Structure 1
Amino acid sequence: MYGGVKGLFNRGQKVQGTVVLMRKNVLDINSITSVRRAIGTGIDLIGSAFDGVTSFLGRSVSIQLISATKPDGNGNGIVGKKTYLEGIIRSKPTLGAGQSAFNIHFEWDGEMGIPGAFIIKNYMQVEFFLVSLTLEDIPNQGTMHFVCNSWVYNSNVYKHDRIFFATQTYVPSETPGPLVKYREEELQVLRGNGTGKRREWDRVYDYDVYNDLGNPDGGENYARPVLGGSDTNPYPRRGRTGREPTKKDSKSEKLGEVYIPRDENFGHLKSSDFLTYGIKSVSRNFLPALKSLFDLNFTPNEFDSFEEVRSLCEGGIKLPTDTLSKISPLPVLKEIFRTDGESVLKFSVPELIKVSKSAWMTDEEFGREMIAGVNPCVIRRLKEFPPQSKLDPTVYGDQTSKMTKEQLEINLESITVNKAIEDKRLFILDHHDIFMPFLRRINESKSTKAYATRTILFLKDDGTIKPLAIELSLPHAGQQNLGFDSKVILPANEGVESTIWLLAKAHVIVNDSCYHQLISHWLNTHAVIEPFIIATNRNLSVLHPIYKLLFPHYRDTMNINALARQTLINVDGFIEKTILGGKYAVEISSAAYKNWVFTDQALPADLIKRGMAIKDSSSPYGLRLVVEDYPYAVDGLEIWNAIKTWVHDYVSLYYATDDAVKKDHELQAWWKEVVEKGHGDLKDKPWWPKAHTREELIQSCSTIIWIASALHAAVNFGQYPYGGFILNRPTLSRRFIPEPGTSEYDEMVKNPQKAYLRTITPKYQALVDLSVIEILSRHASDEVYLGQRDNPNWTSDQRAIDAFKKFGKRLAEIETKISERNRDPNLRNRTGPVQMPYTVLLPTSETGLTFRGIPNSISI
């Protein structure tokens, strides 16, 4: 690529460039209002950050080009003279909000070859965000792009020069010789030395266990077990911070602001900045103010009727005048809470009740949401009866289900259980094994009373799924752990039996809400991806093709995960406040991680494992769905296939043979570290693939992209549309099913609604839950969706750009097909009784609460 460059430049020729920067204050969340005002009025934002544009006319920022083709005496690329930023470019249509462009001219001649990298030094005390450098009219190259997207601090804080590379792509063995040292040294910087407390400007990626969720110094009730590093509580690794240990537990880390590598902080004008800060504001400002109202009895902590629950979005809750003034003045919070001058707290209307206010209560909708709801990836086909348990019988006794065939056959439409199993028409939502080991501890709380649930469902002739029975199980009373007691509840439409059935479904959904939030959502997307992010940055150069492939799918994830450890999954955080499990919540996800299998995260493998699909070479994608109208699977398989086709096309550009994969030392180090460090607690599992063939590499990269994009979208952006109506997705259970002869039973007979409301999430916890999931269900204003890149110059390889355009075109076709399916009245599971089309896997979206769109990454 760089051959024959001698004489291309005239000696002393000036190379013109453009540098694009963003000043710190553009991204300073504490001054967000003034920044937005400045953007709106056209104020020169860059100026005030650097004490005026004239600061750049001095020697505030220097750049030195590095040759990719001409070595110095040591074999490294020749480094050019320092050149300083010049005048600001007043009008440049390609600039994003808050960006400013500067001219720069380099002395560069033919003896120095073709530039391939540059060193930048910041001599100011304030950091800035370096967006890009563009060089013009490079002979035989034309325009050269350097996409940077990185914070640059004063040069004195760095032990090594800040270096950026052009957008060329090389596997390690094809790296131009003059750039080899620079490539290797940059990776060494990113790996760090594994010691010391990380500082704000650091860029080090390293691993640690989850030892910062509790606060042992606050007392026994605030201590939480360390997750990761043991067989008892295995867990994926998170980014290392190096903070000091707590006084009472040397294995736990002190709480406080969480370090993440500087470039993992939101480095763009993104409403996710507002949204994540909004979560902090809810935690620090709104919730204490709201709690004080309940403590002072300004408002009761119980809903009195279903109508009052609906009023949260239809009429709002009247609060004392000064309450909502305590919310942070961020505009996003005022939008989310729909506040007005009369201090009325009002949430958005969830999609679930926009058409019908009562359809959520139907058995059809209850079953439909298991294949088209917010947690559609747990239901599995029942292959044996009665359902079995995988819990260790020496610890838990016989945990085999106590349901009988006779109980199921009452509503089996004249066929037997054996026939229904043979015909692949019985399914189970099984939350028994995950909750049973924790139930004793969970139910010790006076405010929590929960079961471990099993729900059997039947595939009807019309393609819908109806529940046949629910088993509600508890450990044996007393000290003995062996075995369990259970009751089986059957469907009913009238009388007190219908209320009991509704309560049984509520207990199932409480289990499912907890499983969804802790496992399907947090563990299986957020937590498991972070080790891949760390390993990629430590081992794959920005020049590496696989780095360029995966990098967009890591955007903002470490940042949102760090926020989660501060406000969501930490001691007394949102999860412990509002989700079944309380102080044991994240520990439950650790128990689930023991059975996590990377290869099963690929959608086809997941569907086959759950029995929801069978291998069939004559069918699309090589498998046939058991439930043909399974919206998550139907839409998801098309998305999965598009991702894998794109990854295949891309990987094939850089690896002609399997041997080329095996000989890529960066790639091999990357995968070894993912397995042995990032997911080190599972490193000895036989299911880990190697990275020795192109197919293994393609499958693994496709799985990573699927998890970070479509899987996360499927389990995240339906949270508020389904769960914003707390009656439909309760998150807590406070009472067991009442027994005849008790006052609770009498209440249930007289006032079924009151009995239901006293069983599920109470008002305060419901308000907390809705406040958070409405934020988490929103899309950012500059979100980057699957099939998109935030910079068109992400690579200089036109072949890769063409393959990516093909990917984008395929996704647009899929979007059209999904919309057509949602209009097909024969596909009843697409909309259900609530008339709520399944749109969550439509690839694109507008800003806000849209119930659609697949972002590239786990960015919220």
Structure 2
Amino acid sequence: MASFLFGKGSKLKGTVVLMQKNVLDINELTAAQSPSGIIGGAIGAIGGITGSIIDTATSFLGRSVALKLISGTSADASGKGKVSKEAFLEGLLTSIPTLGDKQSAFSIHFEWDSNMGIPGAFYIENFMQGGEFFLVSLTLDDVPNVGSIKFACNSWVYNSKKYKTDRIFFANKTYLPSDTPAPLAYYRQEELKTLRGDGTGERKEWDRIYDYDVYNDLGAPDKKATLARPVLGGSSTLPYPRRGRTGRKPTNKDPKSESRSDTVYLPRDESFGHVKSSDFLIYILKSASQNIIPQLRSVVTLQLNNPEFNTFEDVRSLYDGGIKLPTDILSQISPIPLFKELFRSDGESALKFPTPKVVQVDHSAWMTDEEFAREMIAGVNPHIIKKIHTFPIKSNLDSQLYGDNTSTITKEHLEPNMGGVSVQVAYEANRLFVLDHHDPLFPYLRKINATDTKAYATRTVLFLQDNGTLKPLAIELSTPHPQGDSFGPVSKVYLPAGEGVEASIWLLAKAFVVVNDSCYHQLVSHWLNTHAVVEPFIIATNRHLSVVHPIHKLLLPHYRDTMNINALARNVLVNAEGIIESTFLWGNYAMEMSAVVYKDWVFTDQGLPNDLIKRGVAVKDPSAPYGLRLLIEDYPYASDGLEIWAAIKSWVEEYVNFYYKSDGAIAQDAELQAFWKELVEVGHGDLKNATWWFKMKTRAELIEACTILIWIASALHAAVNFGQYPYGGYILNRPTKSRRFMPEVGTSEYNDLAKNYEKAYLRTITPKNDTLTDLTIIEVLSRHASDEQYLGERIEGDDWTFDSQPKEAFKRFGRKLAEIEQKLTQRNNDESLRNRYGPVKMPYTLLYPSSEEGLTCRGIPNSISI
């Protein structure tokens, strides 16, 4: 049939869509050292977005960019798909309605005759001297007997001299390795070899190589000894997921540590994209941490001469009146769009933060016991609370090292506040729960308390009341024994009180609990259990699953921008003396402590149903929705999350079963098996001997693994990230540090507390300087970019695959998410569900699938993109 499809010397018409180099190059902007250089560069860059960028669109014409089609059906003598002659961009097209912002379209014609078959891939060469461009797509029109063939590219293309192998792109047809057309098999394998690299040398910005390394770039021992940090990963003592390898040289003082630099290598397509607002959000994050925050600290400590808040009203003034700034600092930071929103519009030179949702309706409701407990199931860290499985509460710490860490909370402490219900009855009825922040913290308490911070290991016992809300019954605060760790903790139990100094003591006890929860949230729930654990999946996927592999196509949206935000985090957030170490209780031990927690990480328990069952807050029940019955019926994170989980799993199940017709096809998929083997043995290699890893031999295992991964990257991250400012922007509600121990009766601190509890509370928690830092950073981290891709969306639109059934299934997935959002809105209108609003009158919206741009406290992006 092919003999009459094309005539001799026939031409195939195509359209190439590309974008010029991004003017807002984050790495270039933030390489500037002086504050004025950084800020000035940003302002200049922003102004230039609408003007000429690097090359005008017409510079792509002539012989600047060459493409060669590769046949997917007709092979040459060596068995490889035949390659056409070079074709060049011909004319600028301006009438294409689907062009995105800053995109340019060009016509192109390829010589293609009857012997060449059907195109399945193409090579592209960039001969321009001006740098890289972003290739969006190629569309071939009117291909005989086929129609249109689309190539969704979305990749940076540098000058051809930068590459050791030719840049290749494949049509949007999806193939299992065994189904790959023979003429394309060679090209499929060669592209994967290119992406794997050879594991040597320092990576350059134009490289596209994915490889692994340990976390050995957090410290800077060559600067000073106090900036040295232990290597995370590669040991049983401090295991860690792997990060992307950069190949930077080792430090002089510690050959095991990697030297640091302003920019961190990323495989080029993992960089933030073209002219898009997420670029700017990340730029703001970096510039804020490197120069704006130090200047604000200077203002507070030197010019205002008042490093402490004295009243709760002082804290609220951050939102109402703001902090007056000198004009020199104001002139540098106020022109930046995001920071411009933080300045008063009435002529006053004041920095004013947006009012966090938790105090938008009521200034003091956060202080109530009901809200304190509600945020454990509907706050920013809603998946730590557990059912009490044994009473008294046991510890998993080694008693040889740390003595007996069994809780000292007794039924005598609890029963007076249980409304006549005994501990035994409540325990048997599954009505006793605990927020346990004891074991991860206790081994580090002696070190932490040797600094200017002071902390306790904490346990908080809660009772599920008849009205569905949780009531805190007791808080245990524990410190190491003065004679040594092996003597066990010194513990004291605090009980609720509503009046007098006892009420102030109880408020402080709750603050110590929340400080621990804030640290665990940021370092474990957020950083480790979403950002860090996903990166090895991204690396393994790109090294072993071809872009035409169905699982690569399934997972790709859930990787967008993650390696980039992680690299930035290692540079300014989780590095030695970075934002986290500086403003959170765990300080210099923050990342090390997260490595200790990672020892107990279990991939199969990261899926929501298994997590709920493991924590004892749900039980299997075939008659209940999704086969689970929640023991806390009104548990907003869990009930909303189960809706999202089920929708993701249904979509994944339909998709996987379309491409894999049997379990045997899973075992025979060489790329999938190589991907999973390397993920387990290298990417998460410190846990490779764990027996819980899927063997990846059945469709059920693949479906569950993909569902868990998508859940982590989308809904779990959304739940623990986008509420950071709405809840934690009010530092009284979620302090990040504790600086004084609980006052003892008869001391001046106790007397101070009795006289002025607000001042005593503020002297105990996060100080003003650190509060300004926290608010500035989490305000950025809690925002959505204007070009965010949400669950149920794809950046390629409808062109992400050629196969119609998966496309239809994906559309059903999108419609299901819209239905879920309506259902969640109805739940929030049900006044009988008290945990959905709480005393602060703040609805639980973090798992609403959609969102607008900005600080919305809702929306589930596809990926960990901020």
* The one of 46, 56, 71 aligned to 1:67: 71
AA matched with 1:325:
S
Q: What SS does the corresponding residue of 1:218 show, helix, strand or coil?
A: coil
* The one of 807, 815, 822 aligned to 1:801: 807
- 2:396 aligns with 390
Moved more, 138-147 or 641-650: 138-147
* The one of 525, 529, 539 aligned to 2:544: 539
Aligned residue runs from structure 1 range 419-498, under 5 A: 419-445=425-451, 447-498=452-503
| Pair 814,338 (structure 1): closer, same or farther in 2 beyond 3 Å | farther
Is the Cα–Cα contact under 8 Å of residues 458 and 466 in structure 1 kept in the other structure?
A: yes
Aligned residue runs from structure 1 range 785-824, under 5 A: 785-792=790-797, 793-824=799-830
Q: Are 1:666 and 2:671 counterparts?
A: yes
AA matched with 1:101:
A
**Distance (Å, rounded) in 2 between the aligned partners of 1:15 and 1:336:** 54
Give the drift of 1:288. Answer: 1.8
**Distance (Å, rounded) in 2 between the aligned partners of 1:753 and 1:149:** 54
| Pair 121,274 (structure 1): closer, same or farther in 2 beyond 3 Å | same
Q: What SS does the corresponding residue of 1:17 show, helix, strand or coil?
A: strand
Aligned residue runs from structure 1 range 491-506, under 5 A: 491-506=496-511
Is the Cα–Cα contact under 8 Å of residues 286 and 324 in structure 1 kept in the other structure?
A: no
Q: Are 1:621 and 2:626 counterparts?
A: yes
Q: Are 1:729 and 2:734 counterparts?
A: yes
**Distance (Å, rounded) in 1 between the aligned partners of 2:133 and 2:346:** 37
| Pair 546,665 (structure 1): closer, same or farther in 2 beyond 3 Å | same
Give the drift of 1:34. Answer: 5.5
Deviations 1:692-731 (A, max 9, x none): 0000000000000000000000000000000010000000
- 1:241 aligns with 246
**Distance (Å, rounded) in 2 between the aligned partners of 1:38 and 1:480:** 60
Q: What SS does the corresponding residue of 1:322 show, helix, strand or coil?
A: helix
| Pair 116,589 (structure 1): closer, same or farther in 2 beyond 3 Å | same
* The one of 586, 599, 603 aligned to 2:604: 599
Scaled by the length of structure 2, the TM-score of the pair is 0.97
Moved more, 123-132 or 631-640: 123-132
Is the Cα–Cα contact under 8 Å of residues 67 and 112 in structure 1 kept in the other structure?
A: yes
Give the drift of 1:673. Answer: 0.6
* The one of 774, 788, 792 aligned to 1:783: 788
Q: What SS does the corresponding residue of 1:689 show, helix, strand or coil?
A: coil
* The one of 255, 258, 279 aligned to 1:253: 258
Give the drift of 1:343. Answer: 2.4
- 2:165 aligns with 160
Is the Cα–Cα contact under 8 Å of residues 559 and 864 in structure 2 kept in the other structure?
A: yes
**Distance (Å, rounded) in 2 between the aligned partners of 1:508 and 1:295:** 28
AA matched with 1:131:
V
- 1:571 aligns with 576
* The one of 4, 21, 24 aligned to 1:24: 21
* The one of 265, 274, 278 aligned to 2:284: 278
Moved more, 16-25 or 846-855: 16-25
* The one of 305, 311, 326 aligned to 1:305: 311
Q: What SS does the corresponding residue of 1:124 show, helix, strand or coil?
A: coil
**Distance (Å, rounded) in 2 between the aligned partners of 1:539 and 1:796:** 22
- Structure 1 regions of 5+ residues with no counterpart? none
| Pair 855,609 (structure 1): closer, same or farther in 2 beyond 3 Å | same
- Structure 2 regions of 5+ residues with no counterpart? 30-40
Q: What SS does the corresponding residue of 2:525 show, helix, strand or coil?
A: helix
Give the drift of 1:35. Answer: 6.0
- 2:2 aligns with 5
Is the Cα–Cα contact under 8 Å of residues 39 and 97 in structure 1 kept in the other structure?
A: no
* The one of 95, 101, 106 aligned to 1:97: 101
Give the drift of 1:477. Answer: 1.1
Q: How many residues align?
A: 850
- 1:139 aligns with 144
AA matched with 1:211:
N
Is the Cα–Cα contact under 8 Å of residues 21 and 274 in structure 2 kept in the other structure?
A: no
* The one of 54, 61, 65 aligned to 1:57: 61
Q: What SS does the corresponding residue of 1:110 show, helix, strand or coil?
A: coil
- 1:633 aligns with 638
Give the drift of 1:555. Answer: 0.1
**Distance (Å, rounded) in 2 between the aligned partners of 1:801 and 1:196:** 41
Scaled by the length of structure 1, the TM-score of the pair is 0.97
Is the Cα–Cα contact under 8 Å of residues 713 and 841 in structure 1 kept in the other structure?
A: yes
Give the drift of 1:136. Answer: 0.5
* The one of 761, 764, 768 aligned to 1:759: 764
Give the drift of 1:413. Answer: 1.1
Give the drift of 1:338. Answer: 5.6
Give the drift of 1:326. Answer: 3.5
Deviations 1:204-260 (A, max 9, x none): 000000000001112221110000000110000000000000000000000112111
AA matched with 1:384:
T
Q: What SS does the corresponding residue of 1:15 show, helix, strand or coil?
A: strand
Is the Cα–Cα contact under 8 Å of residues 321 and 342 in structure 1 kept in the other structure?
A: no
Is the Cα–Cα contact under 8 Å of residues 27 and 267 in structure 1 kept in the other structure?
A: no
Q: What SS does the corresponding residue of 1:323 show, helix, strand or coil?
A: helix
Deviations 1:584-639 (A, max 9, x none): 01111001100000000000000000001001111111110000100000000000
AA matched with 2:13:
Q
Is the Cα–Cα contact under 8 Å of residues 20 and 57 in structure 2 kept in the other structure?
A: no
Give the drift of 1:66. Answer: 0.3
Give the drift of 1:268. Answer: 3.1
Q: What SS does the corresponding residue of 2:440 show, helix, strand or coil?
A: helix
**Distance (Å, rounded) in 2 between the aligned partners of 1:326 and 1:515:** 35
AA matched with 1:742:
T
| Pair 439,12 (structure 1): closer, same or farther in 2 beyond 3 Å | same
Give the drift of 1:340. Answer: 7.3
* The one of 81, 87, 108 aligned to 1:83: 87
* The one of 401, 408, 412 aligned to 2:414: 408
Moved more, 124-133 or 724-733: 124-133
- 1:320 aligns with 326
**Distance (Å, rounded) in 2 between the aligned partners of 1:471 and 1:5:** 79
Q: Are 1:583 and 2:588 counterparts?
A: yes
Q: Are 1:657 and 2:662 counterparts?
A: yes
| Pair 838,196 (structure 1): closer, same or farther in 2 beyond 3 Å | same
Q: What SS does the corresponding residue of 1:144 show, helix, strand or coil?
A: strand
- 2:199 aligns with 194
* The one of 846, 850, 856 aligned to 2:856: 850
Give the drift of 1:16. Answer: 1.0
**Distance (Å, rounded) in 2 between the aligned partners of 1:299 and 1:659:** 71
Q: What SS does the corresponding residue of 1:66 show, helix, strand or coil?
A: strand
**Distance (Å, rounded) in 2 between the aligned partners of 1:653 and 1:481:** 58
Deviations 1:169-206 (A, max 9, x none): 00000000000000000000000000100001000000
AA matched with 1:585:
A
Is the Cα–Cα contact under 8 Å of residues 516 and 715 in structure 1 kept in the other structure?
A: yes
AA matched with 1:768:
T
Is the Cα–Cα contact under 8 Å of residues 339 and 346 in structure 1 kept in the other structure?
A: no
AA matched with 1:98:
K
**Distance (Å, rounded) in 2 between the aligned partners of 1:691 and 1:670:** 10
**Distance (Å, rounded) in 2 between the aligned partners of 1:231 and 1:441:** 21
**Distance (Å, rounded) in 1 between the aligned partners of 2:226 and 2:300:** 23
Q: What SS does the corresponding residue of 2:169 show, helix, strand or coil?
A: strand
Is the Cα–Cα contact under 8 Å of residues 235 and 590 in structure 1 kept in the other structure?
A: yes
Deviations 1:320-359 (A, max 9, x none): 2222333384312322456775320100111101111110
Moved more, 314-323 or 15-24: 314-323
**Distance (Å, rounded) in 2 between the aligned partners of 1:762 and 1:110:** 75
Deviations 1:71-95 (A, max 9, x none): 0110000000000111211232211
Q: What SS does the corresponding residue of 2:734 show, helix, strand or coil?
A: coil
Q: What SS does the corresponding residue of 1:234 show, helix, strand or coil?
A: coil
User: Identity of counterpart residues, as a percentage?
Assistant: 65
* The one of 719, 723, 746 aligned to 2:724: 719
**Distance (Å, rounded) in 1 between the aligned partners of 2:258 and 2:293:** 26
